[in-house]
A and B are shown apart, each in its own frame.
Chain A
Amino acid sequence: MIQLLNVSKIYPNKVQALNDLTVKIDRGEFVFLVGPSGAGKSTFIKLLIREELPTKGQILVGGKSILRLRKSEVAKLRRNIGIVFQDFRLLTDRTVFENVAFAMEVLEHSKKEIRARVPSVLEMVGLDGKGEYFPHQLSGGEQQRVAIARAIVNGPRLLIADEPTGNLDPETSWEIMELLNDINRRGTTVLMATHARSIVNKMRKRVIALEQGRVVRDEEEGGYGYES
């Protein structure tokens, strides 16, 4: 599904965020991307959604290089990737339903499709009956569920989450993890950047550990590492 070959990223300010990275992620996997702040996790994600281009190396998504894409092809790439951020990024002047429906409107789905699909996705993420609420009327965990609903409503094959539990308390974080796990079990590949040690240790999924832009560890059913 995803392949990075000898990828390096040096930002214009000469900061080397990624250093000769080679990583392969298969369809249907659940992968944690861990590492301390500044290790290059977000940069890794930005390369996958073509927000940034690598300085060196090759990146394949779905078997195709994403280095030379026209703008319309970038849009197409992103349609196959759902993305969730730490700060939710919801539209505060719209209801839960409208926030999720927005993702479908933007891709020109019909009203009928939207009315049929949005409630079932809201139910799936555990927001049944909250469609008419506004974001400020929801808890942090619920807001993140809205963001996840928006990310998966168009049925992407890959879901990327950049520290999705960073703003949540441990219990709520755990609920979000169960939701992501659920989504993964339904066939969506999930890539999650985090530095939440307890979650990673409990989940027993594949762990790719980054440090100063290099992969320092890559193991199936791994733990966070750095015992201390």
Chain B
Amino acid sequence: MKVRTVGYFFKQAFKSMWRNGWMGVAAVTTVAITLLIVGIFTLLVINADFIATDLESDVEIIAYMDVEASRSEVLEVEEQIQAIRGVTEVKLVTKEEGLEILNKKFGQDYDLLSSLGGVNPLPDLYRVKADSPENVEPVAKTLERVAHVDKVDYGQDVIDKLFAVIRWVRLIGAGLVLLLGLGAIFLVATTIRLTVFARRKEIQIMKYIGATDWFIRWPFFIEGMVLGFIGAMLAGVVLYFTYDFLVTNIRFSLTFIPLISDMGLIMKILGSLLVAGTFVGALGSLISVRRFLQV
């Protein structure tokens, strides 16, 4: 195939796109919406993953000591806890400190201790940090067997729930994308069918002249792929600027939500959208070329 021939294919493809007008716009829009939703869900999922992991790595394990354990007994186990594999930080919160924290919550003027009848019911406790999320559970398990430890608690429930939500988001996203993707392929196929119909006379002449099948098919494929590519570009541009806006604004107003702003990753997502769009376009035209272009 010659370079000039490739030029000819593109010329034919663009001519058809121009002629198909609104049908092409509809196909491009569907591809764009589909890919926009793919993009939104992808960003949603990776950010939720990122936030969950961030929370998880921050998880504190709390080891409540027996209320009856004496202060010296409590202090004795600190080294033992420190020695557990994966533990990075150990901090003792005495029952007095605990009461103080509670008091602050209820307000300065309220005398919690006297309303409790002068007896502090709180246990001493250790706040323990693990070096990685995977180590949270084993550390917690080991802590349970340390002497005078009454109960071990960590935020795993919340995180498990968050991951469950992410799983659902993924599932719904995948379902939505599948439906919309089929719609996009269908619309591209319909557009290409229009082109095949508009060019049927030309195609017949080409066959009589002795054009090869692929020479006849290429312009249709290119038209489909260009439709998909343009749709993907639109989706990419909208996604990029919206996300950029969100990241810049959230960083200042909602500082506790860590959004991913890794340019390399974002570009990878946009690149994948372009590939996916072109692929959807190629698939759509393949269907029509096979069904309606009897060459």
Is B77 in the interface zone, CB < 8 Å from A? no
Residue of A nearest to B202 (CB): A91
Q: What per-residue 1/0 map shows which CB atoms of B203-216 lie under 8 Å from chain A?
A: 01111111111010
Q: Which residues of chain B are within 8 angstroms of A107 by Cβ–Cβ distance?
A: 209-211
Q: Which residues of chain A are within 8 angstroms of B202 by Cβ–Cβ distance?
A: 91, 102
B215 touches A106 (CB 8 A): yes
The complex places the Cα of A129 from the Cα of B166 at a distance, in Å, of 72
CB of A62, distance to nearest CB on chain B (Å)? 14
Contact of A78 among B4, B8, B210, B213 (CB under 8 A): B210
Contact of B209 among A79, A110, A111 (CB under 8 A): A79
Q: Which residues of chain B are within 8 angstroms of A49 by Cβ–Cβ distance?
A: 208
The complex places the Cα of A106 from the Cα of B5 at a distance, in Å, of 9
Q: Give the most central of B1, B4, B211, B215: most A CB within 10 Å.
A: B211
Contact of A110 among B4, B208, B212 (CB under 8 A): B4
Known contacts A75-B211, A75-B213, A78-B210; decide if A108 and B205 are in contact (CB<8 Å): no
The complex places the Cα of A15 from the Cα of B211 at a distance, in Å, of 31
Q: What per-residue 1/0 map shows which CB atoms of B1-40 lie under 8 Å from chain A?
A: 1101100100000000000000000000000000000000
Within 8 A of A (CB), among B216-260: none
Is A72 in the interface zone, CB < 8 Å from B? yes
B209 touches A103 (CB 8 A): yes
Q: Which residues of chain A are within 8 angstroms of B213 by Cβ–Cβ distance?
A: 71-72, 75
Residue of A nearest to B205 (CB): A89
Residue of B nearest to A102 (CB): B205
Is A154 in the interface zone, CB < 8 Å from B? yes
Q: Is the interface of A mostly helix, strand, loop or mixed?
A: helix
Is B141 in the interface zone, CB < 8 Å from A? no
Q: Which residues of chain B are within 8 angstroms of A80 by Cβ–Cβ distance?
A: 210
Within 8 A of B (CB), among A91-139: 91, 102-103, 105-108, 110-111
The complex places the Cα of A107 from the Cα of B209 at a distance, in Å, of 8
Q: Is the interface of B mostly helix, strand, loop or mixed?
A: helix
The complex places the Cα of A142 from the Cα of B61 at a distance, in Å, of 93
Residue of B nearest to A147 (CB): B205
The complex places the Cα of A91 from the Cα of B4 at a distance, in Å, of 22
Within 8 A of A (CB), among B176-213: 201-202, 204-213
A78 touches B208 (CB 8 A): yes
Q: Which residues of chain A are within 8 angstroms of B8 by Cβ–Cβ distance?
A: 105
A154 touches B5 (CB 8 A): no
Residue of A nearest to B8 (CB): A105
A76 touches B210 (CB 8 A): yes
Q: Which residues of chain B are within 8 angstroms of A78 by Cβ–Cβ distance?
A: 207-210
The complex places the Cα of A154 from the Cα of B209 at a distance, in Å, of 9
Is A83 in the interface zone, CB < 8 Å from B? yes
CB of B206, distance to nearest CB on chain A (Å)? 5
B209 touches A108 (CB 8 A): no
Is A196 in the interface zone, CB < 8 Å from B? no
B209 touches A106 (CB 8 A): yes
CB of A160, distance to nearest CB on chain B (Å)? 10
Q: Which residues of chain B are within 8 angstroms of A67 by Cβ–Cβ distance?
A: none
B208 touches A83 (CB 8 A): yes
CB of B295, distance to nearest CB on chain A (Å)? 8
Smallest CB-CB A-B distances: 6 pairs: A78-B210, A79-B210, A106-B211, A75-B210, A75-B212, A103-B209
A interface residues (Cβ-Cβ under 8 A, vs B): 49, 71-72, 75-81, 83, 89, 91, 102-103, 105-108, 110-111, 150, 154
Q: A71-B295, A103-B209, A108-B5 are in contact. List 10 more A-B contacts (CB 8 A).
A: A79-B209, A89-B205, A91-B201, A91-B202, A102-B209, A106-B215, A107-B211, A108-B2, A108-B215, A110-B4
A-B contact pairs, 12 of them (CB 8 A): A75-B210, A81-B210, A91-B201, A91-B205, A102-B205, A106-B206, A106-B209, A107-B210, A107-B211, A108-B5, A150-B209, A154-B209
